[in-house]
Structure 1
Amino acid sequence: MDQPSERSRLIAAIYAVAHDPARLLLLRPSLALLADKGVLDDPSADLAFHFEQADRLLAESGAAGADAKQDAAAKDIHLDGRLALQVPSSALPNVRVGEFLPTNIWPADRAVQDRELVKAVSAGLQDQGIVSLLLDGDEQRPIPHLVLPTPGLSGTATLRPIPLRWDRDSAARFADDFALTGAEEAILREVLERGSLRLLAEERGTSLGTVRNQLKRLLAKLSLGSQGELIALYGGYREVHKVRPEGLAKADSASSQDGYLLGGIDVRVEFYGPVAGRPVLYFHPLFGGPFLPKETGEAFSSAGLRIIAPWRPYCGRTADEGSGVAMAREFARRCAQLLDILGIKEVAVLAASGGTAFALAFAQSYPEVCSRVLIAGPAVPIATDEDLAQLGLGHRLPLQLARRLPAAMRLYVRAVVAKIRKGLDTNYLDTFFQDSPPDRVFAARPEIREFLRDAMLEIFRYGFQAATEELEIYAIDWSELAQNVEAPVTILRGTDDRLANKKLVDGFAARQGFHVATPVSDAASFLIFQARTMVALELSVESKN
């Protein structure tokens, strides 16, 4: 096949994916072939233009969602020291630049103190704070906003909306402490998450008046006078709850979830195992945030381990968290802040595949806190095309695209998400793990497949930065994050791991002075789950410096 014909066929396939994401699997072989031949490296091919156009078409179709990160940024409000708007904001469509915010936007009961707080932050007298604004029209639902100095604009403060999540742990405790019925919980959750009683009424098939009456009864039960007071009550309860180490779980071995404001970013954190167990900071794989299948959580709990698993950058949130090596180091700083809040002075570190660079960044930056590092199924720095060629197709192709044609990588990620949203995840996962039997068998388990689908959608619900930044950092040589790590590092590798084969792992470990354990049979990139007892045992043994 001559070169023009190859290019023409690829361009046709690109737009076919934009029309129907299910055709992604038909595009993959062509992309892999051209990437291996170096065609994607040819600037004269001008393929980036077509990938960018297709990505735009797919985004506009709604099949894979909008760019949540840009949407979130558009809702930021930038005010100067006089509280005049400095940049147009979609949150205030009727306020022009230079105008003051209307008086009715500030809740009457706290307007004075909130205005003074914004002025203090803009003047550099205070680092940050939280205010509430009334931006929902007739519903009059106060929205909490984080107030921060605006980077690059002195004398200006940025007001960024904070989504109040109904996380499992604090929500359940709130409902128990205030004796809420199931219907009352639903009302509270609606007020917090969507602020639209009308939508709740439509979903229930009842009238808006009925739902409003239920809200009134809930407010009376809690001796509150407004939705704003209800939000403040839950928000205050959640803030108090999340800074108490002893309040992280209902029972000694329960799993729980909570949120922490770390470096101005609301980070979700999962906890597994006994509260008094040996603390382990867990840097999770790419798929769907922290995840321990039931049997893995039980193995860690039986070993007396307390797993602390913060969601990595861009997972489940829209804040700008940087990129590349700098992103990993900044996340390490937030993890250290989390441990300080929890009162933890020393911690073992556990990483799996996509969490590897972040775990090593933490160990490198905080040697006084990190006692040891265990990498169960690693990702390794990709320094050369020869390194890249050693990866399995499922792992290799996205990284090839990230290195050579970022526009193609973005379309690839968006198409994967669109396929999953249409329920077409089965053939994608089968193909991704086609050259790794243990991973394919693991991912085929109904409960695991259901989680992977839900978890991937949860990550991308806030945009695509989680996947694109992940691919970009692993498409470069990030080995500087692994240098001069003082804590002992042990790598466990599965015999069938196509993300990190023996040659790649042994070379990486030798350069950094890490220990590689005997390869684990019948295990691959999901080794942390496939060899859970071995991983738990390794973590439960005191490190030998």
Structure 2
Amino acid sequence: MKDDSLDPMIRDAYAIAAQPERLMKLLTVLQKPAADNESDLQPHFANVTELLTEIDPSVGDDFSTYARDLEGNGDHLIPPDLSLNRTMTVLSVDDQIFKSAHLVLGQSIPDWLFGVDGESHAQVEKLLEEPGKAGPAIVRLYVDRDDDRGVLFAAQSSGEDDISLDFRVMRLRWHAVIGSAFAQSLELTATEEQLAEHLVNGLSVTEFAAQRERALGTARNQLKALLRKLGIGSQTELISLYAGFSNAFAMAETNDPNLLPPRSSHQLTLADGSHLPFEIYGDPKARPVLYLHATIDGAYLTTRQQDAATGQNLRIIAPWLPFYAGSKMANTGLAVVDEFVERLVHLLDQLKIKRCSVVSARVAAPYGMAAIRSHPNRFCGLVMAGAILPAGEDNDFSHLAMGYRAPLRLARIAPSFVRLYFAAVSTMVRRGKSMAYFKSIYGESTADMQTLNRPDVAELMQRSMKRTFEDGYESTAQQAILTASDWSKWCRKLEVPVTVICGAEDRLAPPDMVEKFCDRYGFNLIGPLPDVGSLAIQQVPHRIFSEAAKIHMD
């Protein structure tokens, strides 16, 4: 290869500064090794990264275009959990949610499904009067004859001639900051705020009374007083009011990030003055699980993930990985793993947690593996939700999708390309062109592309990107460098169990390679699971957290 053979790559690299989407063209060129002197590209990659930052200096500021860029996100909704026609005949049903209801396709629903108070019936009738115009409405459905709590659903009518009613489980939950602003703006008392939180989280007045050790009549009177103060007539109207307030608050936060705390929910200050930011979800009395997040997902959880953890009586402690959310590390590459694991031990000490299991998502696997190997007395087992595999010297990453292959291959010889890669990606997202990036990684998996189009996942990605690129691109560069490394030393001589959950559509760690990996080190393999890809932590969180709950603490 001639000395000037790198010139086209250099030109393509500088073209990214003006058109970040040209990153995809450069990835195509860089799929296979081209020359021994590819490391000569490194200073050029560094220059382009600086140019991108100067041209588009909004690093970490606004990723609101991410959700709008997803294909079909504007009109596409996740499939309904229950669909009925005008005569209340079942068109489709989620058998997991309505398992005890024994709803049958083509048959009418039982009378008790809408409850006995008539409120849900009235809301459905209104939707049928103006199909496609009214709603969505919040209704309470009962999943079996003995259900006295009910489950909240968002109901929407569609169609003109063949009208259908679609019901989707409400994923709404009370947010501490938004809830406080809601209560303050409406001048609620402390008791009224607690009651509102209780109802928004899907619990009943009966449960509220029992929790506070008060008579049911007292709780009902408190509810009547609350509804009267707000000028509304029902619990579902209260929940609708909170949902509207929450949505408006979140929209305002997109334009004014000062409305919500800019930092993480929690932050541990270490002896050297550095910080470990982290999030916590669930009941403080529940069983603790350490969750190590993937590259773009961040330490945030969707409501679906939180529900899955709560269903297993788990409390999730989710630290941000090295260089995320403004955190600093003394090392890079493999050396940062041991440094981070020691920080995790300090975190457990701070939270007074003696021992816990670990769940890792995709590229966080090396951190989870190092934690259980170095401190089996503190970390009692690992569940890998999707996986990356240790990269030996003979690994050319040919099994990976294009969007992963070139960055990982060049991470070994030109780390500055990895920073350029994520600088271009973040700029593409802010300019509303993120799908080219995601297709380059997940495009071969129908399950993953559908997951990326889910509204709850889009919102999570958008929030996480602000923290991921808060101080530049070191966080994602570290993840790529780590993924391109051989971290198998932490897989040997383990004293606690490891379970790997593998998706049949995982293109980052194909099932046949995962099976060999598990056989080599004696790990338990679950899968390959159908309709699951690399984003297993979003697709089957109930399965993942149920496996974490099975790990013995002693």
Which range, TM-score by smaller chain?
Answer: 0.5 to 0.7
Aligned mate of 1:527, from 529, 536, 539 = 536
Cα distance in 2 between the residues matched to 1:283 and 1:477:
19
> What percentage of residue pairs aligned between the two structures are identical?
30
Q: SS at 2:432's partner residue?
A: coil
Cα distance in 1 between the residues matched to 2:370 and 2:508:
20
Whether 1:260 and 2:268 are equivalent positions in the alignment is yes
Q: Which residue of 1 aligns with 2:321?
A: 312
Q: CA deviation at 1:59?
A: 2.9
Q: CA deviation at 1:387?
A: 5.5
Aligned mate of 1:47, from 33, 41, 49 = 41
Gap change, CA 1:64 and 1:478, over 3 Å in 2:
farther
Q: Which residue of 2 aligns with 1:59?
A: 53
Q: 1:316 touches 1:459 (CA, 8 Å); kept in 2?
A: yes
Cα distance in 2 between the residues matched to 1:174 and 1:266:
27
CA-based RMSD = 2.9
1:146-545 equivalences under 5 Å are: 257-263=265-271, 264-386=273-395, 388-543=397-552
Q: CA deviation at 1:10?
A: 2.2
Q: Which residue of 2 aligns with 1:28?
A: 27
Gap change, CA 1:309 and 1:65, over 3 Å in 2:
closer
Letter in 2 for 1:22: E
For structure 1, the residue ranges without an aligned partner over 5 or more in a row are: 67-167, 183-255
Cα distance in 2 between the residues matched to 1:299 and 1:493:
18
Gap change, CA 1:465 and 1:510, over 3 Å in 2:
same
For structure 2, the residue ranges without an aligned partner over 5 or more in a row are: 61-173, 188-263
Gap change, CA 1:405 and 1:373, over 3 Å in 2:
same
Q: 1:381 touches 1:476 (CA, 8 Å); kept in 2?
A: yes
Cα distance in 1 between the residues matched to 2:182 and 2:267:
19
Gap change, CA 1:366 and 1:422, over 3 Å in 2:
same
Once the two structures are superposed, what CA deviation does each residue of 1:315-350 show, in whole Å capped at 9, x if it has no partner? 111423411222111111111111111111110111
Q: CA deviation at 1:470?
A: 1.1
Gap change, CA 1:532 and 1:331, over 3 Å in 2:
same
Q: 1:273 touches 1:306 (CA, 8 Å); kept in 2?
A: yes
Q: Which has the higher contact order (CA 8 A, sep 6+)?
A: 2
Letter in 1 for 2:290: L
Q: 1:262 touches 1:338 (CA, 8 Å); kept in 2?
A: no
Q: Tell me which moved more, 393-402 or 341-350.
A: 393-402
Q: Which residue of 2 aligns with 1:238?
A: none
Once the two structures are superposed, what CA deviation does each residue of 1:139-175 show, in whole Å capped at 9, x if it has no partner? xxxxxxxxxxxxxxxxxxxxxxxxxxxxx99978998
Gap change, CA 1:25 and 1:523, over 3 Å in 2:
same
Q: SS at 1:367's partner residue?
A: coil
Q: SS at 1:389's partner residue?
A: coil
Cα distance in 1 between the residues matched to 2:525 and 2:428:
37
Letter in 1 for 2:50: R
Q: SS at 2:325's partner residue?
A: coil
Cα distance in 1 between the residues matched to 2:11 and 2:463:
31
Letter in 1 for 2:481: E
Q: 1:495 touches 1:521 (CA, 8 Å); kept in 2?
A: yes
Letter in 2 for 1:52: A
Q: Which residue of 1 aligns with 2:8?
A: 9
Q: 1:288 touches 1:457 (CA, 8 Å); kept in 2?
A: no
Cα distance in 1 between the residues matched to 2:310 and 2:21:
41
Q: Which residue of 1 aligns with 2:77?
A: none
Cα distance in 2 between the residues matched to 1:335 and 1:544:
17
Once the two structures are superposed, what CA deviation does each residue of 1:474-523 show, in whole Å capped at 9, x if it has no partner? 11111112222211111111111111113332333233222222321111
Q: SS at 1:24's partner residue?
A: helix
Q: 1:353 touches 1:376 (CA, 8 Å); kept in 2?
A: yes
Q: 1:170 touches 1:258 (CA, 8 Å); kept in 2?
A: no
Letter in 2 for 1:47: L
Cα distance in 1 between the residues matched to 2:343 and 2:182:
31
Q: 1:318 touches 1:463 (CA, 8 Å); kept in 2?
A: no
Cα distance in 1 between the residues matched to 2:536 and 2:365:
13
TM-score by length of 1: 0.61
Cα distance in 2 between the residues matched to 1:389 and 1:486:
33
Q: Which residue of 1 aligns with 2:220?
A: none
Letter in 1 for 2:8: R
Once the two structures are superposed, what CA deviation does each residue of 1:449-475 show, in whole Å capped at 9, x if it has no partner? 233233223210212110111111111
Letter in 1 for 2:496: A
Q: CA deviation at 1:437?
A: 1.8
Gap change, CA 1:329 and 1:457, over 3 Å in 2:
same
Cα distance in 2 between the residues matched to 1:21 and 1:63:
14
Cα distance in 2 between the residues matched to 1:173 and 1:436:
38
Gap change, CA 1:169 and 1:332, over 3 Å in 2:
farther
Cα distance in 2 between the residues matched to 1:64 and 1:393:
27
Q: Which residue of 2 aligns with 1:130?
A: none
Cα distance in 2 between the residues matched to 1:293 and 1:55:
32
Cα distance in 1 between the residues matched to 2:366 and 2:432:
31
Once the two structures are superposed, what CA deviation does each residue of 1:82-121 show, in whole Å capped at 9, x if it has no partner? xxxxxxxxxxxxxxxxxxxxxxxxxxxxxxxxxxxxxxxx
Q: 2:334 touches 2:485 (CA, 8 Å); kept in 1?
A: no
Query: How many residues are matched?
Result: 364
Cα distance in 2 between the residues matched to 1:338 and 1:176:
32
Q: Which residue of 1 aligns with 2:18?
A: 19
Q: SS at 1:517's partner residue?
A: strand
Q: CA deviation at 1:22?
A: 2.8
Q: Which residue of 2 aligns with 1:247?
A: none
Once the two structures are superposed, what CA deviation does each residue of 1:43-83 show, in whole Å capped at 9, x if it has no partner? 278333432332232233244649xxxxxxxxxxxxxxxxx
Cα distance in 2 between the residues matched to 1:313 and 1:18:
27
